[in-house]
Amino acid sequence: METTESRGWSPYLAGALTGVVISASAWIAGNYFGASTCFVRVSGFIQQLFSPEKVAGMDYFKWFGPKVDWQVMMVLGILIGAFISSKTDGSFKIKSVPDMWASRFGPSPVKRGVFAFIGGIILMAGARLAGGCPSGYGLGAMVQLAVSGLIVVVCFFAGGIIFGQIIYRGGDSR
Cβ atoms within 10 Å, residue 139? 21
Tell the smallest beta-carbon distance from residue 2 to other proteins (Å). 9
Tell the smallest beta-carbon distance from residue 97 to other proteins (Å). 6
Residue among 46 and 106 whose Cβ is closer to other proteins: 46
What are the C-alpha distances in Å from 64 to residues 43, 111, 134, 136? 10, 33, 19, 15
- Chain centre to alpha carbon of residue 105: 23
- Is the torsion defined by CA of 138, 144, 148, 154 positive or negative? positive
Residue among 106 and 119 whose Cβ is closer to other proteins: 119
Tell the smallest beta-carbon distance from residue 53 to other proteins (Å). 15
CA dist., res. 65 & res. 41, Å (int): 6
Tell the smallest beta-carbon distance from residue 15 to other proteins (Å). 3
**Residues 6+ away with beta carbon under 8 Å from 8:** 14, 89, 91
The angle subtended at Cα 116 by Cα 157 and Cα 79, nearest 5°, is 85
Tell the smallest beta-carbon distance from residue 150 to other proteins (Å). 7
